[in-house]
Amino acid sequence: MINQILRLFKWVPKMLTAGVVAMTMMSTVAAQESRLGEIVKRDKLIVATFGTAPPFCFTDEKGELVGFDIDMARLIAKSLLGDEKKVEFVVVNSEGRWPAVNSGRADVGIASTTVYPDRALRVAFTRPYIDSGVSILVRNDLGVKSLSELNSSKYTLANLSNPQMQERQKRFLPEVKVLTFDTPSSMFTAVRSGQASAMQMDTPVVNWYAANNKEMTVLPENLTVVQGNAIFMKPGDFTLWLWMDTMVQEMQSGSRYAEYSEIYKKWFGKNPPPQRFYK
Amino acid sequence: MELIINSIPLLFKGLQNTLIMSFVATLLATVLGILFAFIQIFSHVFIKAVVEVFLYLVRGVPLLVLLFMMYYSLLYSGLQVNPLIGGSVVIGIYFAAFMSEVFRGGILSIAKGQWEAGYALGLRTHQVVGSILIYQALRIIGAPFINTVIMIIKGTSLVAIIGVTELTFVGRQIVERTLEPFLIFSVVALIYVVICYSLSLLAQHLERKIGYVN
Amino acid sequence: MPFEFPLMLRSVPILLEGLTITLTLSFLAILLSSFWGVLILLSLRTGKLFNAFARTYIEIMRNTPIIVIMFFIFFGSGVIGMPLSGFIAGLLSLVLQNGAYIAEIYRAGIQGVSNRQTEAGLALGFMPKRTFLLIILPQAIRKVIAPLGTQGVMIIKDTAVVATISVAEMTFQARLLADRTAAVFEIFTALAIIYIVLTTIFNLGIRFVEKKYGYKN
């Protein structure tokens, strides 16, 4: 019997080594540099964004990237690295935004992206930096005044090619004909040209289109409750997430509110929600 | 109209990218095409089979699907490769399948007797190829080669769907801003037609002047 | 990233939802462009003016990328107040372009039929038009089965482009699915395999027809 016990002892050195290796690995993982450290070292922020989603991220007549998200990205770069020019934008399309951040191609994504629980399975969202929701833009000459009027097969709705859009259309406008595009700007072109009667898109986007085009109006009913657009990044990096989330907090209710208001007013023509709800 | 005149600088930038992509893709397709043609003619059965299966698969899939695969693979792998370069590479590989047919036809159509005559004269292989065969092969290859290049140029228009700013993409952007699809897309089509038709005239000229019918 | 085979298999049924449209569009495009090609060919053969029109048409269609034609028709139709669905716009574009290619294929086939046949027909007392219809044309058609087959494969592959103008065929379904899940590589591999199966079946069909009716030179 002593022999059997002694035989067990031969495992001890192996277990000790395994234990030491495991602990070293764990501490390496913990000490693994956050993406934030990389950004500071690189001295440049890489942001994934769209090029076809006014007013958040789109291109102007000269082909330059402009928009609310773009300006906000520059503000973030200024706060992090001291210079608003230290941003590099990676333009992706709708399905491409997730792999862009998850693969490390971009540090974060600021791309007119609404927070949904199923999306949160794949990326990490900060708190929302702007209120959103989904509204419907419709052409005036059709005389449609409400959602229920639109719900008929003589109208065509322009959708974006993501699953949330499809589900909303099936729920709210089951009778309507559907055209699906991969960019908001082509949806808008379709409505403008008459190919579609209406489009569903983020409320700020729809409001912006309506404000800049007299022939369009926004239907009073929203297709969703108030939602939020947020910055997203690869999940698991707490340090980066915390900084970004803190930055959004500072923009909406803290030290960067003035700059945030400026950007907000520039693109939406009105003031953002006040810093505090109490006086 | 002034819309066209205003759009020209943007369209020109797009055209530059189209031409760059076409050039890179053609280069790649030619090199790979020659390689595949030689493998198909001269190689051991096994390697030949692998190459032929590969070429068959590439030809059976739409170029657009291959472009999407490339685009998402790039994004997922995190590599810092521009979709412009990635697109050119994919187009190059796709058309290498067509190019290999062109080169294969060129090489095979030269009568075996030419090889034997060359050897009989005491020339080594590379001399036979370089001094005798190549001129004959070029006469046969010239026209179908240019036709494949025309297909490559048209193929670059597909990368507009993955957001690369080449000619078609720029055209679409302008149309979305101005709502003049007939005008702008006619100009875009005209540019493609001018480039491709000139090339096809060159091909016809080659076929007539030095074309070689066996 | 490891390739997940089960994910690929699971994406197949969703992709196949677009198969009906892909097949319908391909079938109609092949059928209609075959007929449209005949009309263009006849235009080529009837006098200088029609010939000039046909030649210009053919060269424009052959040298313009299919996507530009589709955008032209799709967005253009919206702007002039007669919006066409993506399917119709895509079908129209495919027919317009491939009709031109097919007309050229017919022309080459007809030229390939020996002049002696025409002479023989005329010598036998047939009128030129009947010579053409009864003697030349059947032989020409049998000659061009192979190139027509290649053109058909190209049409099937070009249907993928209509995904951009909102037609819910297979490539469109693939993109939509790719937004939902992260298994993008698996989804597009499955898509590629489906296309290869389609084109292989079509190629086998063409080879069968060629064996039965083909013209051995």
Query: What's the whole-number average pLDDT of chain C?
Result: 86
Residues B143 and B203 sit within 8 Å (Cβ to Cβ):
yes
In chain C, whose CA is at the least distance from the CA of A179? Answer: C166
Single-letter residue type at C122: L
Chain A CB within 8 Å of residue B75 CB: yes
pLDDT of residue B213: 52
**Mean pLDDT for each 10-residue chunk of chain B (214 residues)?**
82 92 95 89 85 91 92 77 88 94 80 68 66 70 89 94 88 86 92 94 79 50
Is there a domain that residue A239 lies in? Answer: yes
A262 and A182, same structural domain? no
Is there a domain that residue B148 lies in? Answer: yes
With cut-offs at 50, 70 and 90, classify the pLDDT of residue C46.
confident
Tell me the C-alpha distance between B192 and A233, whole Å.
Answer: 41
With cut-offs at 50, 70 and 90, classify the pLDDT of residue A255.
very high
For chain A positions 100-119, those within 8 Å of chain B (CB to CB) are 100, 102-105
Q: What is the mean pLDDT of residues C79-92?
A: 88
Is the preceding peptide bond at A204 cis, omega within 30 degrees of 0? no
Question: Is the pLDDT score of C111 beyond 50?
Answer: yes
Nearest by CB to residue B60, choosing from C79, C171, C199, is C199
> Which CATH number is B57's domain given?
1.10.3720.10
* Record: contact A179-C166, CB cut-off 8 A: yes
A53 and A118, same structural domain? yes
* pLDDT, tens digit, 9 for 90 and up, residues A129-160: 999 889 999 988 888 888 888 888 888 899 88
Domains and CATH numbers, chain C: 18-167 (1.10.3720.10)
Which of C79, C165, C176 should one mutate to test binding to chain A, selecting the residue with the greatest count of A CBs within 10 A? C176
Question: Is the pLDDT score of A241 beyond 90?
Answer: yes
Is there a domain that residue A245 lies in? Answer: yes
Please, which residues have CB within 8 angstroms of residue A203's CB and are 6 or more apart in sequence?
Answer: A131, A132, A133, A134, A135, A222
Is there a domain that residue B212 lies in? Answer: no
A127 and A50, same structural domain? yes
Look at chain B and report how many structural domains it folds into.
1
A236 and A201, same structural domain? no
End-to-end CA distance of chain C, in Å? 52
A237 and A125, same structural domain? yes
* pLDDT, tens digit, 9 for 90 and up, residues A214-240: 888 888 888 888 899 999 999 999 999
Of C196, C186, C90, C107, give the one whose Cα is nearest residue C147. C107
Instruction: Name the most confidently modeled range: A17-21, C27-31, C207-211.
Output: C27-31
pLDDT of residue A30: 46
Across the B:C interface, residue pairs with CB atoms under 8 Å apart total 117
pLDDT of residue B214: 42
Is there a domain that residue A275 lies in? Answer: no
Cβ-Cβ contacts under 8 Å, C172 against chain A: 161, 180
Is there a domain that residue A16 lies in? Answer: no
> Which CATH number is A256's domain given?
3.40.190.10
Question: Chain B residues within 8 A (CB-CB) of chain C?
Answer: 57, 59-66, 68-69, 72-73, 76, 150, 154-155, 157-158, 160-161, 168, 171-172, 175, 179-182, 185-186, 188-189, 192-193, 195-197, 200
Look at chain A and report how many structural domains it folds into.
2
* pLDDT, tens digit, 9 for 90 and up, residues C173-214: 888 888 777 677 788 889 999 999 999 999 999 988 888 877
Tell me the C-alpha distance between A12 and C193, whole Å.
Answer: 53
Is there a domain that residue B28 lies in? Answer: yes
Is there a domain that residue B101 lies in? Answer: yes
Sign of CA dihedral B98, B100, B101, B105: positive
Cβ-Cβ contacts under 8 Å, C72 against chain B: 181-182, 185-186, 189
A123 and A140, same structural domain? no
Question: Is the pLDDT score of C86 beyond 80?
Answer: yes
A204 and A95, same structural domain? no
Is there a domain that residue A75 lies in? Answer: yes
Range of the domain at A206: 134-218
* Record: contact A162-C179, CB cut-off 8 A: yes
Chain A CB within 8 Å of residue C88 CB: no
Is there a domain that residue A85 lies in? Answer: yes
With cut-offs at 50, 70 and 90, classify the pLDDT of residue A276.
confident
Is there a domain that residue A20 lies in? Answer: no
Please, which chains are in contact with A (at least 3 CB pairs closer than 8 A)?
B, C
* Record: contact A195-C75, CB cut-off 8 A: yes
Nearest by CB to residue A95, choosing from C78, C79, C175, is C175
Range of lowest pLDDT (A10-19, A42-51, A82-91) = A10-19
Is there a domain that residue A181 lies in? Answer: yes
A69 and A50, same structural domain? yes
Please, which chains are in contact with B (at least 3 CB pairs closer than 8 A)?
A, C
Range of lowest pLDDT (A93-97, C26-30, C52-56, C61-65) = A93-97
pLDDT of residue A26: 54
pTM of the predicted protein model: 0.84
Is there a domain that residue B47 lies in? Answer: yes
A149 and A212, same structural domain? yes
Chain B CB within 8 Å of residue C75 CB: yes
* Record: contact A92-B179, CB cut-off 8 A: no
A76 and A49, same structural domain? yes
Is there a domain that residue B187 lies in? Answer: no
* Record: contact A192-B179, CB cut-off 8 A: yes
Of A100, A104, A116, A112, give the one whose Cα is nearest residue A73. A112
Range of the domain at B105: 16-165
A191 and A126, same structural domain? no
Mapping DSSP to helix (H, G, I), strand (E, B) and coil, where does residue A107 land? coil
By percentage, how much of chain C surpasses pLDDT 70? 96
Chain A CB within 8 Å of residue C154 CB: no
* Record: contact C83-A99, CB cut-off 8 A: no
